[in-house]
Amino acid sequence: MKTLNGSELASFIQERQAHQVRALRQAHDAFPKLAIVVTVDNPVIETYMKLKKKYGAEILVDVDIHRVDQIEVKGLLNKLSKDKKTHGIIVQLPLEDPSQTETIVNMVAPNKDVDALGSKAKFEPATPMAIMWLLAGYNVDLVGKRVLLVGRGKLVGAPLEKILNSSGIDVHVVERGANLKQEALKADVIITATGQPTILESDMIKHGAVVVDAGVASESGKTVGDLADDVYARDDLVITPKKGGVGPLTVCALFENVILAASSFAKDKKDAG
C-alpha cells in the first residue's frame, strides 16, 4: 500500500507560508489576521479551533476567536468585514440556529471569506484545495483516469466537482445509494466526502485504485472517515491514512487563503500610496 501522507506535505507548505508571512510583516507592514466567529460550544469544534490557532502561531498569523450568541453575529461580521486589520473571517459551523446559515455566511465580505462559504467568495474552499495539493504532491495524474466523487456536499463535493470539471477531468459523482458499488468498481480514483462511516468497503474498490478519504464523522467519541477498516488491509491501493491525510493540508489551504487576502490588502495599500 502506498500512503498519501498529508502531514509530510503540510510541513513543506508550512515552511513556505512562514516565509511569506515574514515577508509581509517586514516588507509591507502587513500582519495577517484571521477572525473565527463561533456560536456553539462543541468539543469537535474546539479541537479544530485549537489546531487553527496553533498553526497560525507557528507561521505568525494572528487568530482571534470571537465567541458570541447568534443574535450578535450579524453586527460582528459587519464590523470585522470593515476592519482593515482583519484579513480573513470564518463563521464556524454549525451555527446555534442552522436555518440562518446561508444568510450569515453571505454576510462575510467576499475578499475576506477564506472558507469560501459565501456565494461571492474570492477564494477556493480549503478541503478541495487540500485534496488537489495531496494528489499533485504524490504525482497522481488524473488526466485520462475515471474519477469518482462520492458525495456532493456544499463544503467539499460540489466545489471539488467544479474544480475537476474546469481542469478537464472526467469526473463522475454518486451520492449514497444502490449504484455506489457499481460506480466505485469502475473508478481509477475515488474521492469520498460524505461523513458516512464505512460507506466504502474493500469489495467496492478495484485493484490498484487511488482512494482519498475526505469524510469526517464522529463515532463513539472518535473522529472517523468514510472508509471501512477492511480497505486498509489491502496492499494494492494508493490511499490516505486514517489520520494525517487530507486534514493537515486543509488547515494549510485555509491559511493560504488568509495569506492571499493579506497580500491583496498590502498591494491595495501600496497602490493607494
C-alpha to C-alpha distances, 55 to 135, 169, 256, nearest whole angstrom: 22, 32, 12
What pLDDT band is residue 66 in, cutting at 50, 70 and 90? very high
Please provide the DSSP assignment of 242-265 as one string. Answer: SSSSHHHHHHHHHHHHHHHHHHHH
Q: Is the residue at 75 inside a domain?
A: yes
pLDDT, one tens digit per residue, over 159-212 is: 999 999 999 998 999 987 768 999 999 999 999 999 888 999 999 999 999 999
Q: Cell 475515471 sits at which residue?
A: 146
Same domain, 94 and 158: no
Task: Quote the pTM value.
Answer: 0.90
Q: Is the residue at 72 inside a domain?
A: yes
Same domain, 53 and 101: yes
Task: Extract the C-alpha cell encoding 45.
Answer: 469544534
- Check pLDDT > 80 for residue 14: yes
Task: Extract the C-alpha cell encoding 237.
Answer: 491501493
Q: Is the residue at 61 inside a domain?
A: yes
Same domain, 132 and 106: no
Same domain, 35 and 143: no
Same domain, 136 and 95: no
As for how many domains the chain has, the answer is: 2
pLDDT at 26: 95
Angle between helices 6-28 and 246-272 (to 10 degrees): 20
Same domain, 215 and 184: yes
Same domain, 172 and 218: yes
What is the helix (H) or strand (E) element at residue 23, kind and residue range? helix 6-28
Task: Extract the C-alpha cell encoding 252.
Answer: 494549510
Q: Is the residue at 195 inside a domain?
A: yes
Same domain, 105 and 133: no
Same domain, 105 and 132: no
- Provide the CATH number for the domain around residue 231: 3.40.50.720
d(CA 15, CA 247): 17
Domain residues for the domain of 242 are 126-247
Number of separate helices (H) and strands (E) present in the chain: 8, 11
- Identity of the residue numbered 245: G
- Check pLDDT > 90 for residue 140: yes
Same domain, 142 and 179: yes
